[in-house]
Structure 1
Amino acid sequence: MIMEPQEDPSFTQAFQFLKETEFYSVDETKEEEHSSLSSPSYSFTSKGKTDLVIAQAKAKHFIVVNQVTQKDNPLNGFIKQVLWNYGNIVPDYLLGRYTCALFLRISQHLLTPHYIYDRVKAIGKQFRLRLVICLIDVEDFELALKEITKLCVYSEFTLIVTRSEREAARYLETYFSLENKPTDVLREKTEQDYVSQVENALTSIPSINKTDAMQLISNFKTFHALVNADKKELSKCPGIGPTKVLRFKEAFQMPFRKQ
């Protein structure tokens, strides 16, 4: 399902905190001029919606790069693991049907601090996953980064901080590659051999980790011998103290139902 752009009624309330920041004051006489230079204007007309649908379809095969805001960005040259091409899109990078990214340098934010706010507002809630990839390229970045972090929290963007264009490109490639992957790639692979199954069963006991499980398996050889071992025998295993012995015995002796 494509998420259509819509006006967020809570936007003004969410960004009310900006009035208390040093960046809120704007020269009204130059506001219109600056707006036309610092950020492109986007209209959500039927044509704009059509462009979004086309771009999202293309983003299944390659990263779509904003042909206006990122035309001369050196970062693009570091995107080598996946294909990319320019397109007419609102975000800086379209990383699939449901993922987008904005790119921001700290130096740029210091010069035009309200630029990123305009870009975030333009995207709104169109995408499920919205990223701000922030490149630290100045020494005094703490205050600016704090401001950007606050913006991302209020607007539900994920902030990624990088130190180089190469690192930023790796993040773009990774998010693009993972969007269409099944959730199985994130799950821990469970081995099917007998020892691994016993290990998984033992580590489900509170306080027993994988190292403890392997110590118990190697000391008692069989599961039958392990379950029937007394507390003294269990405590002889390295790393198995009184608390772990107690948890272990409770797991195998406690009734399934309370009488």
Structure 2
Amino acid sequence: MDDDFDDAELLQALAASEAAAARQQPQRPPAPPGRGIVQPTPQRLDKPPPSNSSSSSTGPRIVQPTPQALPGARSSSGSSILVSPRQKGNPVLASIKSTAWEYSDIPADYVLGTTTCALFLSLKYHRLHPEYIYTRIRLLQQNRYNLRILLTLVDIPNHEEPLRELSKTSLVNNVTVILCWSAQEAARYLELYKSYEHASASAIRGQQKTTYAEQMVEFVTVPRSVNKTDAIALVSTFGSLRNAINVATEANGEERLGNVQGWGEKKVRSWRRAVEGSFRVRKAAAQGRKKAATGSGSGS
């Protein structure tokens, strides 16, 4: 039966056009079946250690080294002075004010740095127990301290002979002897050594004078009573250092030096004594003359 609108020819034309379009399109190859992404199988990097039976065939077993303490690490005191328990009751500890300290098991009496230590000795105790300090010094040689200090408290009147023996011992055993006459002075030495633990050589080395004016002032101020201002006034008054020295040797030199501003009788005497005095000590000069006489006598 024909369509109500008699469009049979139109429908046939549409069907023919769709068939022609289908023939003109290229034939696409069928897509291969989809394949999912496969993750790789994890591999173990750390292999289990070989058994005892196979260790000999594969080589010696790797052994990790045992951590070793650095030299002096045990005695590293940080910012504190390490004190041996032997020093309990020592009045020196009560006099240490500007530096912290703490007890520690150390071979020395005090550790003032990684390579610095100190032994404390009272001459009164040394007179009663003379072998004590020699034993302590001998035991201290087994430790790696570059600077070993013997802090000696001079608390007896006749101290010349004990100090002479300690000086000989210090030279043989590379020990530095420091003398003090009170507990406060001993504590001050400990604080100073601790404060200079990390100081460079330039920090404690004296500054050398380079200019003529500085050298002149340093020379004139050798007498303790003459200061820098006095030195400048002296050279300014007489024009040069040579004139100031020559005036001191004149007969009326004391009067002329007294006219310098700021120079009194004490400074004048000190300056004249420094200029006119011998450069050699009398005792040394006498020994030199004695040796010269002995040499000339043996030669004749």
- Please name the residue that 2:195 is paired with: 177
Aligned partner of 1:55: which letter?
A: S
5+ long unaligned stretches in structure 1: 1-45, 221-232, 242-259
Higher RCO (Cα < 8 Å, 6 or more apart)? 1
Residue in structure 1 matching 2:128, options 94, 111, 115? 111
Aligned partner of 2:201: which letter?
A: T
CA contact (8 A) 1:66 1:90 kept: yes
**Residue 129 (str. 1) matches residue 168 (str. 2):** no
| Alpha-carbon distance, 1:214 to partner | 5.0
**Residue 141 (str. 1) matches residue 159 (str. 2):** yes
CA contact (8 A) 1:219 1:237 kept: no
Of the structure 1 ranges 135-144 and 146-155, higher mean CA displacement relative to structure 2 is found in: 135-144
State the alpha-carbon separation in 2 of the partners of residues 240 and 77 from structure 1.
55
SS at match of 1:184: helix
Q: List aligned pairs for 1:1-259, cutoff 5 A.
A: 52-56=72-76, 58=77, 60-67=78-85, 69-124=86-141, 126-189=144-207, 197-200=211-214, 214=232, 218=236, 237-239=243-245
CA contact (8 A) 1:109 1:115 kept: yes
User: What is the alpha-carbon root mean square deviation over aligned residues?
Assistant: 3.8
CA contact (8 A) 1:64 1:84 kept: yes
CA contact (8 A) 1:215 1:238 kept: no
Aligned residues: 176
Q: Which deviations, in whole Å up to 9, do the C-alpha atoms of 1:82-112 show, x marking residues without a partner?
A: 1111111111000111211000111221222
State the alpha-carbon separation in 2 of the partners of residues 140 and 173 from structure 1.
28
Q: Normalising by the residue count of structure 2, what TM-score does the alignment of the two structures yield?
A: 0.48
State the alpha-carbon separation in 2 of the partners of residues 201 and 142 from structure 1.
38
CA contact (8 A) 2:151 2:179 kept: yes
| Alpha-carbon distance, 1:162 to partner | 1.6
SS at match of 2:191: helix
CA contact (8 A) 2:235 2:241 kept: no
Higher alpha-carbon Rg = 2
SS at match of 2:172: helix
State the alpha-carbon separation in 1 of the partners of residues 89 and 163 from structure 2.
24
- Please name the residue that 2:3 is paired with: none
CA contact (8 A) 1:90 1:123 kept: yes
| Alpha-carbon distance, 1:50 to partner | 6.9
State the alpha-carbon separation in 2 of the partners of residues 218 and 92 from structure 1.
55
Runs of 4+ in 1 over 6 A off after TM superposition: 201-204, 233-236
Aligned partner of 1:86: which letter?
A: Y
Q: Normalising by the residue count of structure 1, what TM-score does the alignment of the two structures yield?
A: 0.55
CA contact (8 A) 2:72 2:114 kept: no
Identity of paired residues, percent?
32
State the alpha-carbon separation in 1 of the partners of residues 94 and 217 from structure 2.
46
State the alpha-carbon separation in 2 of the partners of residues 73 and 182 from structure 1.
31
Change (3 A) 1:165 1:237: same
| Alpha-carbon distance, 1:145 to partner | 2.4
